[in-house]
Structure 1
Amino acid sequence: MKLNNINHIFFDLDHTLWDFDKNSALAFERVFKSRNIPLEINNFLEVYMPINFKYWERYRNDDVSKEDLRYGRLKDSFDVLKFEADRMLIDNIAIDYIQYLPDHNYLLDGGKEVLDYLKSNYELHIITNGFEEVQHKKLINSGIHEYFTTVTTSEEAGVKKPNKQIFEFALKKSSATPQNSIMIGDNFEADCTGAKNCGIKPIFFDYYRNKENIDVIHIKTLKELKAYL
């Protein structure tokens, strides 16, 4: 079922186009090696990933600051693993991680193919809650920056998804309307609920394949977008 009268497509970046899990693991491997951190990376990630997810949820809700997120997710993970690290070491690891993260640039399967498919018929845009200083680097270093007419970050907009105002900010920036736009993202609350509240049709990318019986279009692979666009 093709969607009609769509001119603008807004994508989330992390876990939607950019393979955050793989690139993040590679960045931590590099940090641990350079800092001689004696933790097995897979054991660390098993603990860190759910903690990081919770911190991002709190960050979206303005319950923690950017600095609290960067420090707290590492401190809590090290505590669970009983690895002793002082404030200075954790701060340095956090800085290194953000520095190294955009150096690894795996895209999710089908990402480049779908962008090539869409670019001739639609204006493409990014709306992301990711940090301003790394999101643009991710786009440039992974070779997909040129596909997007606008990139809107939560720090630029002053609010985070799912806040309606970030979508309104992105629409104004791109000269789009809710009626001629769709939003594609992996976080149901931030991307889909947020978009719907602004009048934008959402497509949910079920990246972790754990949602059932939802009332919006949902895909499990990026290539499935071709059926709708």
Structure 2
Amino acid sequence: MYSTILFDLDHTLYDSDESERLAYAHTAATFGLADPDAHFGTYVDINRAMWAAVERGELQPTDVRHRRFEQFNATVGLDADVEEMATAFVWGLGAHGTLYDGAADVLAALASRASLGLITNGLSDVQRSRLSRLGIADYFDSIVVSSEVGVTKPRPEIFDVAFEQLGHPDKATTVMVGDSLTSDIAGGAGYGIATCWYNPHGKPLAPDSAPTHQIGALSELLSLV
């Protein structure tokens, strides 16, 4: 059905929750945060709110790098250098975390049958470090990182960049695969391509979202090419 497959990275191919937990632990230990586990939920709430603002076009990804720690420090009463915290955290995000089980095998199988692209909302040094460490960059004919191009999913301009790099494939045979209904699915649908919602935990579908496909395992993608 599809000869071009566009992937999201975080929470689709890559266990970003694990990466985030380990990066937070590294940062908390570096700056001597008392009882860091008690404040992890605070960090998560702040971070998610800021990335939601990025999707709405209210912030740039590079803004999130330090602003989340400005707000975190003010909330928990930590007197630490924000830029140093941001640097430690970004290093941790790149250095920790793994692909979901079977993701590399699925990419290898799909790459022999279709053209693959990656479109990710994130910081360049984090995402590039992850791709290099995990050894999956060569599977993709296009890699678009939002902080490098100045636009984020679900905006159509970020899809324009990917399509340019891929040689303008036929939209009718292109599908966007991702876990986020507001970023991946809304972005793909708005661009006029098919969408595939990666939903391994069986979350309910939002009433205003209608992905073309829904899968619970990445291996199910093999039946779409």
TM-score by length of 2: 0.88
Q: CA RMSD in A?
A: 2.0
1:37 aligns to what SS in structure 2?
A: coil
- Partner amino acid, structure 1, of 2:198: F
Match of 1:100 among 89, 92, 116: 92
Tell whether 2:198 aligns with 1:205: yes
Preserved contact between residue 14 and residue 98 of structure 2 (Cα < 8 Å): yes
Q: Equivalent residue for 1:50?
A: 45
How far apart in 1 are the matches of 2:62 and 2:166? 30
How far apart in 2 are the matches of 1:150 and 1:189? 22
Q: Structure 2: where are the runs of 5+ without partners?
A: none
Q: Equivalent residue for 2:132?
A: 140
Tell whether 2:8 aligns with 1:12: yes
Preserved contact between residue 18 and residue 108 of structure 1 (Cα < 8 Å): yes
Preserved contact between residue 171 and residue 178 of structure 1 (Cα < 8 Å): no
Preserved contact between residue 118 and residue 140 of structure 2 (Cα < 8 Å): yes
Tell whether 2:211 aligns with 1:219: no
Question: How far has the Cα of 1:226 moved from its partner?
Answer: 2.8
The number of aligned residues is: 221
Question: Any residues of structure 2 matched to 1:174-185 within 5 Å, and which?
Answer: 174-175=166-167, 176-185=169-178
CA 1:208–1:157 in 2, change beyond 3 Å: closer, same or farther? farther
Question: How far has the Cα of 1:146 moved from its partner?
Answer: 1.6
Question: How far has the Cα of 1:95 moved from its partner?
Answer: 1.4
How far apart in 2 are the matches of 1:52 and 1:218? 27
Tell whether 2:224 aligns with 1:228: yes
How far apart in 1 are the matches of 2:49 and 2:24? 19
How far apart in 2 are the matches of 1:207 and 1:72? 31
Q: Equivalent residue for 1:123?
A: 115
Question: How far has the Cα of 1:78 moved from its partner?
Answer: 4.4
Tell whether 2:51 aligns with 1:59: no
- Partner amino acid, structure 2, of 1:16: T
Runs of 4+ in 1 over 3 A off after TM superposition: 65-68, 75-80
Preserved contact between residue 161 and residue 191 of structure 1 (Cα < 8 Å): yes
Tell whether 2:80 aligns with 1:84: no
Question: How far has the Cα of 1:161 moved from its partner?
Answer: 0.7
How far apart in 2 are the matches of 1:223 and 1:183? 15
CA 1:218–1:55 in 2, change beyond 3 Å: closer, same or farther? same
Question: How far has the Cα of 1:109 moved from its partner?
Answer: 2.5
Question: How far has the Cα of 1:69 moved from its partner?
Answer: 2.1
CA 1:45–1:109 in 2, change beyond 3 Å: closer, same or farther? farther
Preserved contact between residue 171 and residue 177 of structure 1 (Cα < 8 Å): no
Q: Equivalent residue for 2:181?
A: 188
- Partner amino acid, structure 1, of 2:57: D
2:109 aligns to what SS in structure 1?
A: helix
TM-score by length of 1: 0.87
1:60-107 deviation per Cα after TM superposition (whole angstroms, max 9, x unaligned): 222234454233323434455xx3223x52331111101221111311
1:127 aligns to what SS in structure 2?
A: strand
CA 1:104–1:115 in 2, change beyond 3 Å: closer, same or farther? same
CA 1:103–1:53 in 2, change beyond 3 Å: closer, same or farther? same
1:108 aligns to what SS in structure 2?
A: coil
Identical-residue share of aligned pairs (%): 28
How far apart in 1 are the matches of 2:117 and 2:72? 34
